[in-house]
Amino acid sequence: MKLAYFDCFSGISGDMTLGALVDAGCDVEQLRTELRGLQVPGWELTAEKVWKNGMAATYVKVKTENQQKHRSLGAILEILQKSQLAPQVRERAAAIFTKLGEAEARVHDVPLEKIHFHELGAVDALSWTSSALASAFTPSASKSLPAPL
């Protein structure tokens, strides 16, 4: 069994997360299949082997045609609710975006229903979150472990 150990001392991007999961054994085609369940058009998932600072890695990129980056929490939750993602993926993704919305609402001192995500509202952010969760729930899923924050 392979283990994806996430030591995010200074953050991690969606591309980096997916690359680590692919390197730990998650199948790229399975990720594409799961992402089709989002039912959001205009995206492409690519993966290629790269070298970064002398280390081999997989670079996974979600390219999108839809440049809409601003979505309300309600719009994101509606996309997830209408999706054909596995129920546990849909529920966890909704919980993640809701938790982010609560933090935004608290910081900006506005009601949760007024929250609009900027970069997090884009298709690639929805794709990163959903595909990372989908990889965790596949039968052949590798294990992942986050470092303490």
- The per-residue pLDDT of the chain, averaged, comes to 80
Burial (CB count <10 Å: 0-12, 13-18, 19+), residue 92: buried
pLDDT tens digit sequence for 13-48: 778 888 888 888 888 898 888 888 888 888 888 999
Higher pLDDT pick, 139 / 16: 16
Number of other residues whose CB lies within 10 A of the CB of residue 43: 18
- For the cut 80, the answer to whether the pLDDT of residue 120 exceeds it is no
What are the structure tokens assigned to 16, written together?
A: 């980096």
User: Predicted confidence band at 12 (pLDDT cuts at 50, 70, 90)?
Assistant: confident
pLDDT tens digit sequence for 95-114: 988 988 899 899 999 999 88
What are the structure tokens assigned to 33, written together?
A: 């299949």
pTM of the predicted model as reported, rounded to 2 decimal places: 0.75
* Residue 11 Ramachandran class (φ > 0 left, ψ -120 to 50 alpha, else beta): left
- For the cut 70, the answer to whether the pLDDT of residue 128 exceeds it is no
